[in-house]
Every structure is written in structure tokens, then in C-alpha cells.
Amino acid sequence: MKILHSVHPDDFRKYDTSAIRKHFLLEDLGQDNKSNFVYTHYDRMVAGIVKPGVQPLALDNHDNLRSDYFLERREMGIINVGGDGEVIVDGNFFLLQKLDCLYLGKGVKKVELTSKLAQQPAVLFVLSAPAHTSFPTTLMNSDSSTKVDLGTSQTANRRTIYKYIHKDGIQSCQLVMGLTILHAGSVWNTMPAHTHDRRMEVYFYFDMASDQRVFHYMGEPTETRHILIGNHEAVVSPPWSIHSGSGTSNYSFIWGMAGENMEFTDMDAVQIKDLR
């Protein structure tokens, strides 16, 4: 499991393109019949992709965790962005269709993941955060999630937010997770931008054509930088950084957070005119 260390904002100001990509971009995670994870030092969040075949793929433990099994002291959220998949949790079967979300609580010992069809594999984006209490394994399909429509066509940011793991949805210890789908003709997300000093965040971009990209903006509000993101790539956003994007076409992304609280509205807004 790759380790991603924390970056101080003063150091970030000096980074060139290759350094920004090295320290914040999570790429090459979606490999067939494999699980690939990155251990970050931002609120100890683990992020990765599992792309299983039709034979069950076990969720392996990792030396980084220093635990008897992966979820001994952790919780996990899984959102499927591919073909139909199945997650077997301590012997219980859960079918995940595209955009479905499964939460696994602390103490789950055995997890296996499969795709229903080899030619249409599941692509399971996974976030895992430390947990000090246990909540039950819960499946939520996209139709049952809390939906919020935001933005307008005039500002090219018409989008629908799907909330899965949050205070009024699937209960968790500290993990918050959902996704955003931009409507056709819209390319901007999370603008005006914001930070939340009490939580880190991860963005995972999907449903993008192979020749399209998102300009993901990050950095302190008065010291912004950008990083080019392709399909099925993720970026880690420190608490001091904005997290916003503009695409060469419309796209979708999963967002996930962990940290001091679970208040979705706990944001420090930044006016567009104040960005630099």
C-alpha cells in the first residue's frame, strides 16, 4: 500500500507540476482483478479501487494498518461506478449496481468482492477511515439517497448531489461520502469554492471519455494551482485547500471526507472575486 504524506501549504507554493501530481494525485489504481489502495496521512484516510473479476477477490490486510484484519479499527464506504458487482461481508451478500453505496462498519472481518459479468466488471471506489465505534453494514442504492440539485445552465454548473453516508443518511463514525453528477453542458463543480479546516476530502472522477480531462483546482484560496485529472483518477485535498474543477466536458465525481466532524455544511466559503 502506497503511503501519501501530508504537505504544508508553505511548501506547496513551491511545487511544480510533477511535485503536485506526486503528492496529491492517485492514479493507476483501477487494475483488473486487483485491489489498489493508498494510505494517506490526511486523517488516516485510505483510498483506492477494487476491480474484481467473476471469482471472489478478498480484501487483504496490509502491514501499514498494523491490525489483525483491514476493518479491525476502521470503517469503509464503497461506491460502484462500473458494471454490477457483489460484496460478500462476513457471509452476507450485497448486490451493488452502478452508483450504489455500501457502508461497512468497524469489526467486519471478511470481505470479498466480485463482478457479475467479466465483460462488464464492477469498478468499486473505496474510502476507509479510522473508527472508534461500530455501525451496521448498510446498502443504499442511488434512488434512496438524498438528492440536491444545484447550479444553473447560465453558470455552467448545473449538477445533482447524491448523499449516502452522512448524519441524516447511512450512519458512520466519521466517514462522509457521496457523489456529484454534472448535467450535459455543465462543467464547473464546487464554485464558489470553499475549504473546511476540520476535514480532509478526496475527489474521484468518473464517467469521463478517455480523451477528456478535468482541471482540478487546489491550494490556499489566494495561492491556487491546478492538476489535470483523467477518468478513474482521484485527488487528495488537504483541509487548507480549495477543491473545485472545470472539465473539458461534463463528468461525475465521488467525494469523501473524514476528520473533526460530519457536518456537511461546515464550509468556509470563498468568494470568486477573492480567489488568486
Which pLDDT band holds residue 152 (cuts at 50, 70, 90)? very high
Answer whether 143's CB lies under 8 Å from 111's CB.
no
Residues 62-79: tens digit of each pLDDT: 998 999 999 999 999 999
Q: Which H/E stretch holds residue 130?
A: strand 124-130
CB count within 10 Å of CB 72 equals 15
What structural domains and CATH numbers belong to the chain? Answer: 2-274 (2.60.120.10)
**Structure confidence at residue 111 (pLDDT):** 97
**Structure confidence at residue 205 (pLDDT):** 98
Cα angle, residue 125 at apex, residues 194 and 59 outer, rounded to 5°: 135
Q: Strand pairing partners for 77?
A: 103, 127
Q: Strand pairing partners for 228?
A: 215
Nine cell digits for residue 25: 494525485
Sequence-separated (6 or more) residues with CB below 8 Å from residue 119: none
Peptide bond just before 192 cis, omega within 30 deg: yes
DSSP state, 157? Answer: -
**Structure confidence at residue 263 (pLDDT):** 86
Average pLDDT, the chain: 96
Residues 109-136: tens digit of each pLDDT: 999 999 999 999 999 999 999 999 999 9
**pTM to 2 decimal places:** 0.96
Residues 205-264: tens digit of each pLDDT: 999 999 999 999 999 999 999 999 999 999 999 999 999 999 999 999 999 999 998 888
Task: Please give the Cα distance from 99 to 58 (Å, whole number).
Answer: 22
Which pLDDT band holds residue 42 (cuts at 50, 70, 90)? very high
Task: Please give the Cα distance from 174 to 264 (Å, whole number).
Answer: 12
